[in-house]
Structure 1
Amino acid sequence: MKKNLSTLSLSLSLGGALLLCTTGVQAQSSVQLMGLTDVYVGSMKNAGDAGRSAVVGSGGMTTSWFGVKGTEDLGGGLKANFALTSFIKVDSGIQGRFANDTFFSRDANVGLSGGFGSVTVGRGLAPNFLPSILSNPLGDSFTFAPVILHMNVPLFNGTGWGSTTPSDTGWANEIIYSTPNFGGLSANLHYQFGEIAGDSGKKNVGINALYFNGPITLTGFYERDQMSNPAVPSTYLGTTKTDWMLGGAYDFTVVKAFASYGQAKADNTTNKAKTTQLGVSVPVGATGKVLASWAQTTLSATDISRKTFTVGYDHFLSKRTDLYVMAMADRITNQAKGSSVGVGVRHRF
């Protein structure tokens, strides 16, 4: 009997120790369910559209998404990180940004971070994304931000107007090295494997740099792309495309000014797409701001250009929820004029 009691006591002690160890490990780890929902009601007409559409749309100011992200402290300043996040159309409940978008097209990666910076492997951001959203006042709006529309949203209305970004805002099968922060300056190096059997030379490579110092934001990127995204399996673009941009912002307190300039070109043509963007964000009280942005993209081999201007108001009800109203004018040479207006709500969780 004493032996049994001793055994039970030892088992309870070991169990308690294991429980404490498990609790300690959990205290060093975190997994978060997070995301953003954005829905708007609008009357939409892009340049060249035959008619106007009344819509309930998703992602007026930010593309709606959800997913999980996590980190584990491995000790000695080293951490393991992962992210699995998916885009969703909140107006309809359909997964993805468009037909055949991969499920975790926003993020699907794992990596390590520490004093050396970080290394991430899987699907993640392309070099163009952060510089483009940081240097315009409407951020990552794929519905109303003029420079984002020109860079990333092709028109399928017979105008033949395509996006200037060669290969999406996210890359699959990539390795990203992010440097530590050096006095406000950091950089990200991107390498995407083509994964084409018998042709290991096809790939996407790129770099971006970010600088923050008080009221100053400076950024830029360069890409050399041969692979499409988010195609599964990987698909060769048929040529090599390059894309670069320089941009920044300065906060004068009473107004924040934004500007960017970039070019895109393919090896199989002499035509260049040259894009200029100017914008402002003006605070209104403690919870609102007026936003305005103008972008022009000119094709060097023709007299064709696209000009888009958006003005609107964004009002925060809390740190996580805001209401917005946006109006946009869109023009392409020799095409029907477009104009759009939308009112929406955005919530982060």
Structure 2
Amino acid sequence: MGAAFGVSHTAYAEDSYNIDYFGNLDIGVHSHQLSGQDSKFEVDGGMLSTSYAGVRANAPLSESLTLNAEIASFFRLDDGDITRGLDGEGAFSRAAWAGIKGGFGSIRLGRISTLNFINTIRFNPFGASPKFSPSFMHNYVGSPAQPMSTGMGGSDSGWDNTINYTTPKLAGAVLSLSYAPDEDSTRGERMGGSITVGGYPFAAVLSVEKITDASITYPMALTTLATAFPVFTAQQYSTRQLGTSYDFKTFKLFGQLSRSKVEGMRAGGAQNYEIKMAQFGISVPAGPGVAKASFANSTMDRSWGADLKRDTLTVGYDYTLSDNAIWYTRYMHDKVSDLSVGNSYAMGVNYSF
């Protein structure tokens, strides 16, 4: 939803441009505790979804060709930060692209969400929740207090300098391809693809991602933990993920399977780790809202140490306040091998426009 306005031009009889604004506001309180951590009470933004605001524009170039563009910025209502809180993050890190669309499909250039990220948030009942979606956390937002890494954290949710082509629907399927050259000599050359089938009530997406010639260095845990060092320099990433859902009207089921392999250097020698993740979820309309549950299991096979396992369960309820606003509650149970259990509780308000 959003506001739109148009202005007619004489160069093309039916030419007009439309600009829509859109966004999401999220704020609440939670007692947050991941496995191995102490409990911490916070006023926090971005629990259900990171807050953001953006503008979309489209303008017909001919009867069959349209120019499209989008810019969007993350921000935090709890402290006023205009990013997700990541160091060095750009002002329009959620989206910044322009492209054309026609009977051939669409072509976009700029900072664009990755195909694996879209797969991740689409096929779990807690969507793009960085604090309470088990599959989002297992794939992208690991805890530095845990020796368990993530499969796609080095990829981020969006790639800079991306070229994306998406086909129109052909025989019930849509193919999308993304490519981002290595322009800063550290992120590596990035390639991704996905194929989407179905829509309603059944939908499924198979996505793949590969990063080569990267140089991304990070400790393997919180720097105060012995397992953090020596640091790891990731050079190659490869991921494949299958996501699916089926809406039975009285309830909706979600499922995801992913496998990620990261190769690099640690302590002067070649090292690697592989993470396998499975997520199963359900959402059920209940009274004036929706009850939800999701469970994710990940295993990490490390070449330098014993395997690790992480289990995360989240349950919650979204109470409908209006067409655009919900009040939500969450409980999350998190457990990593050899670490204490973490229990988190939250409530907050989310408004989309």
Relative to its length, the structure with more helix (as a share) is: 1
**Counterpart Cα distance in 2 of 1:342 and 1:196:** 39
Match for 2:125: what amino acid? P
- Of the three residues 30, 36, 42, the one matched with 1:55 is 42
The residue aligned with 1:256 is 252
> What are the ranges of 5 or more consecutive residues in structure 2 without an aligned counterpart?
1-6, 217-232, 265-270
**Counterpart Cα distance in 2 of 1:161 and 1:103:** 30
Q: In 2 relative to 1, CA 329–80 (structure 1 residues): closer, same or farther, beyond 3 Å?
A: same
Secondary structure at 2:108 match in 1? strand
Contact 1:298–1:306, Cα closer than 8 Å, also in 2: yes
**Counterpart Cα distance in 2 of 1:288 and 1:333:** 35
The residue aligned with 1:335 is 339
The residue aligned with 1:296 is 297
The residue aligned with 1:169 is 157
- Of the three residues 78, 83, 103, the one matched with 2:70 is 83
Counterpart check, 1:97 vs 2:98? no
Contact 1:254–1:282, Cα closer than 8 Å, also in 2: yes
Counterpart check, 1:321 vs 2:325? yes
- Of the three residues 223, 226, 229, the one matched with 2:209 is 223
- Of the three residues 181, 186, 194, the one matched with 1:208 is 194
Q: In 2 relative to 1, CA 21–261 (structure 1 residues): closer, same or farther, beyond 3 Å?
A: closer
> What are the ranges of 5 or more consecutive residues in structure 1 without an aligned counterpart?
1-18, 230-236
CA RMSD in angstroms, aligned pairs only: 2.3
Secondary structure at 2:75 match in 1? strand
Q: Could you list the per-position Cα deviations for residues 19-59 of structure 1 after superposition, in whole angstroms to 9, with x for gaps in the alignment?
A: 9746988962111222111112111111111x211111111
Match for 1:139: what amino acid? G
Q: CA deviation at 1:211?
A: 2.1
Identity of aligned residues (%): 31
What is the aligned residue count? 319
Q: CA deviation at 1:131?
A: 0.8
Kindly report which structure 2 residues correspond to 1:237-256, keeping only aligned pairs within 5 A, or say none. 238-256=234-252
The residue aligned with 1:14 is none
Match for 1:303: what amino acid? D
Secondary structure at 1:95 match in 2? coil
Q: CA deviation at 1:210?
A: 2.0
Secondary structure at 1:154 match in 2? coil
Contact 1:131–1:210, Cα closer than 8 Å, also in 2: no
The residue aligned with 2:18 is 30
Counterpart check, 1:113 vs 2:114? no
Q: In 2 relative to 1, CA 335–284 (structure 1 residues): closer, same or farther, beyond 3 Å?
A: same
- Of the three residues 156, 161, 167, the one matched with 2:144 is 156
Q: In 2 relative to 1, CA 277–238 (structure 1 residues): closer, same or farther, beyond 3 Å?
A: closer
Q: Could you list the per-position Cα deviations for residues 154-189 of structure 1 after superposition, in whole angstroms to 9, with x for gaps in the alignment?
A: 2122x2332210410100011000111235421210
Q: TM-score, normalised by structure 1?
A: 0.86
- Of the three residues 56, 72, 91, the one matched with 1:69 is 56
Q: Could you list the per-position Cα deviations for residues 249-302 of structure 1 after superposition, in whole angstroms to 9, with x for gaps in the alignment?
A: 1112222111111111023445310101111011114x4111000001001343
**Counterpart Cα distance in 1 of 2:234 and 2:33:** 32
Q: Which structure has the larger Rg over C-alpha atoms?
A: 1
Contact 2:263–2:273, Cα closer than 8 Å, also in 1: no
The residue aligned with 1:15 is none
Q: In 2 relative to 1, CA 70–147 (structure 1 residues): closer, same or farther, beyond 3 Å?
A: same
Q: TM-score, normalised by structure 2?
A: 0.85
**Counterpart Cα distance in 2 of 1:202 and 1:295:** 29
- Of the three residues 254, 258, 262, the one matched with 1:266 is 262
